[in-house]
Structure formats: structure tokens, C-alpha cells
């Protein structure tokens, strides 16, 4: 079995190690500082001499596998090289894992909210709770208390005990391993069974930011950022506020009101535009209806969106109607059999509908499309306008 140095010296960045076994796409070492993926914490990566390690996992027996890139050259059994950790990658996930413990602990101790699942990623971590609803104020309170604990620099440490002693601690989370149990403590805040790698002090996290929440599987899943990710998030938001303040000519604290006014004006404008477009569509259709009396169909192109004509063509209108706009969309009023014949005749036509109303689009030259449809629907080509 590999000697696991990431517990005894988690800040160590490189060691000399010897290859004990080479497998398909991976190899084992006599000792390692690389943490294997477990408990939501990603596996470590780095270099073993000239060989890249892209991930670290455990095999079925719990031994550590150093994963090489697909098709990459592997070392030979007995080779000795320096195992060098991608420290920024490892250190970020140490901080994020500790931040997740802190958030879960505060949710439980301050608001009786349990954790059912967690996920760690390079941009954010998630805590899925056992509640179906959580007020935003609760999550912001957890953010405040988490950052207060970070400013205090509360200690974090790990120890190990037997299973019975661990059970007697009545921790917020059940123990998922048998035998000896590794425990992670946060000073005056939390103790929980965990085999991950953590920082020694919460001050190393820097800061925690609550981002958002969503309902999933009947639970509230919460999203958080920490360390450099939280700092970037805060600065990006500050930059967004600054730009919006300029766009709306408003003080930062009044941006929301300015945006609401803008949206209200936009809704009014769209409503008025829609009403005007419908009136114009009604006038245009009436004009074509009068000019094409005696023809089998009314066919024309329009500067207006084809959808504008849907409410102005009577449902019981006795002739076929095709309106096509400049964007390639069309509205067809007529019998289904006629529409199906159009689809057969024009492979670039897409769409469907029911009750004599069909909508879709045509990929091709719209003027040629209109001219060809006119021949199909009107036979004698009597409609001259298009």
C-alpha cells in the first residue's frame, strides 16, 4: 500500500517517490502527497519527473492511482523521480473543502438545516440541503457568520478515533466508513467525519460569498464561492454595478428602480408597437384581399413579421393565404392537404400547425418561393404583386 503523506504533511509540495506498479493509464508509488478524489474533493494533479499526472483516484482496494493522460508515456516499475504537486490547484480545493464544512456547519447549528449532498468545482461549491424552502435572509446570515469566523482565524485540525467514540460525538452527519474514523474539527464550530484535506486556519480561505439557490429533488441547493473565486465574483459584481450606474445615469443604490422604470417603458413600447403592427397588418391584408378578388389565394411578402397577420386573417376565411416576411418565416392559412403539398414541393420548408393555421420557415430565396407557391395555389398566376 502507498504511504499517504497528504495527511501528515498536507502543505508539502514535492517528494521523491518510487514506482511500485504500472497499470493501464496509471501507476502506483511507494508514497504520495497527491490526494485521490473522494468526498466531493477532486483528485490532485502535477508531475512525476517528466510524466504528467492529470488526476488521482483510488482503486477498488483503496490504493492510490496516479492517472496519466490518454496515450501518454508511463514510467517503469522501480523508477524514482520527484513527485511535484500542482499546488495552486490543491490549495484552492483545500480552502474550498474547508469552506464547505463551515457553511454546512453554520446552516445546521444556526438554522437546523442539514446537508444531504455537496459538490466542489473550480468556480463554486454547492451544498444541497434537507429543506424544501429557505429564506434568502437565512443564507445571507450564514455568509455573514462564515466570514466572521474567517476573520477570527478559527483553527481547523484533523484527528482519528475508533468508530464507537466517533458515534458518541453525535455529529451533524452520519459516519459512512467502518473501522477507524478521521474527524475534521473547526474550532468552537463543528466536528464531522471526513477524509479530505483541509487548511489549518479558516483565515486561509479569505472570504466566502453566497451566490444563489435552486430547488432540486424537493431540496434547496445552495451555491457558494470562496477564496479567489469569491474575490473575483465580488469585483465582477462591483464592475457591473458601475457600468449600470453609468447606463442608467443613476446612483448605485437606485439602479434597481431605474431598471424597473426602463422595463416598464419597454413593455409599454412593445405593447403599443404590437397594436400598431396589428393595425398595419390588418390594413395590408385588406388591401391584398380587395386587389386579388377572383383568385384562389392571397400571397404576398411583408416587411412586418409574418406572425402579425395571425389575428387579422379570419379563421373562416375562404381562400388560401400565404404571408412570408424578410426573415424567412411564413404564415399559411388553408387546408392541411394544401400545406402538405407545399412541404413536398419545397424541401427547405419547415413548420406545422392545425385548424387551417400553419407556421414555419423557409430556407432559400423567399422571392422565388413566393412565385412558385403562387403557381401552385393560384394556377393562372394572376397575382402580380409580391
386 domain-assigned? no
Domain edge (last residue) among 56, 85, 114: 85
Strand, helix or coil at 191?
Answer: strand
- What's the whole-model pTM score? 0.74
User: What cell does 135 get?
Assistant: 429564506
pLDDT, one tens digit per residue, over 32-66 is: 999 999 878 899 999 999 999 999 999 988 899 99
Is there a single domain that holds both residue 120 and residue 201?
yes
Q: Residue 235, CB half-sphere, CA atoms under 13 Å: how many?
A: 7
Q: Per residue, what are the HEC states of 269-295?
A: HHHHHHHHHHHHHHHHHHHHHHHCCCC
Q: Is the pLDDT confidence value at 163 over 80? A: yes
Average pLDDT over every residue of 73-97: 97
Domain edge (last residue) among 51, 85, 119: 85
Is there a single domain that holds both residue 12 and residue 157?
no
Is there a single domain that holds both residue 75 and residue 97?
no
CA angle 61, 62, 66 (to 5 degrees): 110
Could you give the number of structural domains in the chain? 3
Is there a single domain that holds both residue 239 and residue 214?
yes
Is there a single domain that holds both residue 36 and residue 127?
no
Domain edge (last residue) among 85, 110, 144: 85
Is there a single domain that holds both residue 232 and residue 331?
no
Is there a single domain that holds both residue 156 and residue 120?
yes
CA separation for the pair 155, 185 (Å, rounded): 8
pLDDT, one tens digit per residue, over 103-123 is: 999 999 999 999 999 999 999
* DSSP annotation string for 113-159: --EEEEEE-SS-EEEEES-S---HHHHHHHHHHHHHHHHHT-BEEEE
Band the pLDDT of 378: cuts 50, 70, 90. low
Domain range for 47 is 3-85
Is there a single domain that holds both residue 203 and residue 131?
yes
Q: What is the CATH number of the domain that holds 166?
A: 3.30.980.10
pLDDT the model gives residue 381: 38
CA separation for the pair 115, 105 (Å, rounded): 9
Burial of 186 (0-12, 13-18, 19+ CB in 10 A): buried
Band the pLDDT of 302: cuts 50, 70, 90. very high
Strand, helix or coil at 379?
Answer: coil
153 domain-assigned? yes
pLDDT the model gives residue 384: 35
User: What cell does 335 get?
Assistant: 387546408
Is there a single domain that holds both residue 99 and residue 8?
no
Is there a single domain that holds both residue 239 and residue 172?
yes
Amino acid at each position: 500500500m502507498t504511504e499517504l503523506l497528504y495527511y501528515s504533511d498536507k502543505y508539502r509540495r514535492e517528494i521523491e517517490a518510487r514506482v511500485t506498479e504500472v497499470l493501464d493509464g496509471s501507476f502506483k508509488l511507494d508514497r504520495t502527497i497527491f490526494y485521490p478524489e473522494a468526498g466531493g474533493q477532486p483528485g490532485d494533479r502535477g508531475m512525476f519527473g517528466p510524466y504528467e499526472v492529470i488526476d488521482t483516484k483510488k482503486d477498488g482496494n483503496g490504493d492510490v492511482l496516479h492517472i496519466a493522460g490518454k496515450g501518454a508515456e508511463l514510467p517503469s516499475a522501480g523508477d524514482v523521480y520527484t513527485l511535484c504537486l500542482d499546488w495552486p490547484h490543491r490549495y484552492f480545493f483545500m480552502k474550498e473543502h474547508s469552506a464547505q464544512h463551515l457553511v454546512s456547519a453554520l446552516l445546521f447549528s444556526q438554522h437546523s438545516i442539514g446537508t444531504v449532498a455537496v459538490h466542489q468545482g473550480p468556480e463554486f461549491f454547492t451544498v444541497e440541503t434537507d429543506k424544501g424552502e429557505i429564506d434568502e435572509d437565512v443564507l445571507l446570515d450564514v455568509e455573514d457568520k462564515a466570514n466572521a469566523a474567517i476573520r477570527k482565524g478559527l483553527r481547523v485540525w484533523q484527528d482519528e478515533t475508533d468508530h464507537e467514540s466517533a458515534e458518541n460525538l453525535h455529529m451533524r452527519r452520519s459516519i459512512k466508513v467502518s473501522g477507524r474514523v478521521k474527524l475534521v474539527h473547526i474550532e468552537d464550530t463543528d466536528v464531522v467525519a471526513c477524509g479530505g484535506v483541509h487548511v489549518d486556519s479558516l483565515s486561509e480561505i479569505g472570504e466566502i460569498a453566497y451566490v444563489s439557490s435552486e430547488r432540486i429533488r424537493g431540496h434547496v441547493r445552495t451555491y457558494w464561492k470562496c477564496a479567489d473565486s469569491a474575490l473575483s465574483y465580488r469585483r465582477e459584481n462591483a464592475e457591473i454595478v458601475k457600468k449600470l450606474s453609468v447606463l442608467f445615469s443613476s446612483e448605485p443604490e437606485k439602479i434597481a428602480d431605474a431598471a424597473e422604470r426602463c422595463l416598464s417603458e419597454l413593455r409599454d413600447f412593445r405593447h403599443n408597437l404590437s397594436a400598431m403592427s396589428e393595425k398595419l397588418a390588418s390594413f395590408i391584408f385588406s388591401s391584398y384581399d380587395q386587389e386579388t378578388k377572383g383568385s384562389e389565394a392571397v400571397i404576398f411578402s411583408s416587411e412586418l413579421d409574418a406572425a402579425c397577420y395571425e389575428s387579422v386573417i379570419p379563421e373562416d376565411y375562404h381562400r388560401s393565404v400565404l404571408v412570408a416576411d424578410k426573415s424567412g418565416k411564413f404564415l399559411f392559412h388553408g387546408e392541411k392537404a394544401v400545406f402538405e403539398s407545399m412541404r413536398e414541393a419545397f424541401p427547405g420548408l419547415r413548420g406545422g400547425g392545425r385548424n387551417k393555421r400553419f407556421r414555419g420557415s423557409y430556407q432559400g430565396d423567399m422571392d422565388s418561393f413566393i412565385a412558385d407557391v403562387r403557381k401552385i395555389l393560384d394556377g393562372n398566376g394572376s397575382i402580380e404583386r409580391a
